[in-house]
Amino acid sequence: MKRTPFVLAVLLLLAACKPAPPPSWTGYAEGELLYLSAPVAGRVQRLHVAAGDAVTAGQLLFEFDPTLEQAASAEAEARSRSAAAQAANTDKGRREAEIAVTRAQLAQARSSAQLAASDLARQEQLLAQGFVARARVDDAATLVRQTQARIAELEAALAVAQLPARPDERSSARALADAAEKGLSQAQWRVQEKRQTAPAAGRVTDVFLRPGEWANAAQPVLALLPPTQRKARFYVPQSELGGLHLGDAVRLACDGCGAPIEAKVSFIAPGPEYTPPVIYSNAQRQKLVFLVEARPVKAEDAERLHPGQPLDVTR
């Protein structure tokens, strides 16, 4: 049947009244892997996970042989105890047994002084009676002075024996004790770093080293992909870029993913992927596209995205 111009005009008008379909783009899933290593070198002793395993935050992943570090830690602990004891010793006087010896010598000196004083008194009495010469009295007086000097010497020695070390020596001992403590902390840290745990929940995507192999410091042992590091990447023509903003909601669909995944735009490239050499012509502007990234709103939905998987993205 031949359609009249009026019927054609009505059909065109109805077609123009239909709402335009929402914009859609093609992209793919991508994962930002965490390459996990130890900050110290060592031989891989145990692997507690395998590729494909799901892990929780804080779960033990791998261990290095800690024999050398444990020995160094034990040595550092012994040095720390020794330095701490030496620092404490400088705050004390001499040992009680040594002080007791000085006290005994002081008591003996005081007894000798008493005898010398008694002898001097007797010699002076005999001198007055004319029974001894003056020289005997002078010798007795000299002995009294010697015993008194000995008492003063031992009293000073006893006071010094009860004093701590000099301030400079005490400061030096405390500094050495602090240094030994810091060395112990470093040794203990190295022992702890021989065991590495998962910084976040995720899935092990690859294992690079096996038990018995040597790993240098910071050399990755395995790769972990947390759900929060899965995202969609897609390209938006420059003509549609103005209607897309950070935080906008998009829907991700893929083969076998089930229901669409709700996501939010997390990145819009500041520049285009294709730049003509001189001037943008109308034809060239149609080729300009901008990279956009979106991350799933829910972590459980992110698990449905597999790196490299094609995606359809709609508003």
DSSP tally for the chain: helices H, then strands E: 8, 14
State what percent of residues in the chain have pLDDT above 90. 47
pLDDT at 13 over 80: no
User: Reduced to 3 states, what is the DSSP secondary structure of residue 260?
Assistant: coil
The number of angstroms, rounded, from the C-alpha of 143 to the middle of its chain's C-alpha atoms is: 72
Query: 228: which DSSP letter?
Result: G
pLDDT tens digits along 163-213: 776 777 778 878 888 888 888 899 999 999 999 999 999 999 999 999 999
- Which residue type sits at 218? A
- Which pLDDT does position 268 carry in this prediction? 95
- 280 pLDDT band (50/70/90 cuts)? very low
In the predicted structure, residue 36 carries a pLDDT above the cut 90: yes
**Pairing of β 195-197 and β 42-47:** unpaired
pLDDT at residue 6, rounded to an integer: 59
103: Cβ contacts below 8 Å, ≥ 6 apart: 158
Which of 1-5, 34-38, 72-76, 152-156 has the lowest average pLDDT? 1-5
Pick 6 or 106 by higher pLDDT.
106
Among 2-16, 189-203, 282-296, the range with the most confident prediction by mean pLDDT is: 189-203
**Radius of gyration, CA atoms only, the chain:** 46
Return the percent helix, strand and coil in the chain, to nearest 5. Answer: 45, 25, 30
Provide the pLDDT for residue 48. 97
pLDDT at residue 278, rounded to an integer = 43
Q: Which of 20-34, 44-58, 260-274 has the highest mean pLDDT?
A: 44-58
Q: Distance (Å, rounded) from C-alpha 241 to C-alpha 237?
A: 6
pTM over 0.85: no
Most confident of 15-19, 138-142, 156-160, 248-252: 248-252
* Cα distance between residue 154 and residue 99, in whole Å: 11
Segment 134-170, tens digit of pLDDT: 888 888 899 989 988 988 888 888 787 777 767 777 7
pLDDT at 105 over 70: yes
> Across the chain, what does the average pLDDT equal?
86
pLDDT of residue 217: 95
pLDDT value, residue 47: 97
Q: Which of 242, 232, 301, 238 is nearest to 266 (CA)?
A: 232
- Please indicate whether residue 100 or residue 55 has the higher confidence score (pLDDT): 55
Q: Model confidence over 53-91: pLDDT tens digits?
A: 999 999 999 999 999 889 988 988 888 888 888 878 777
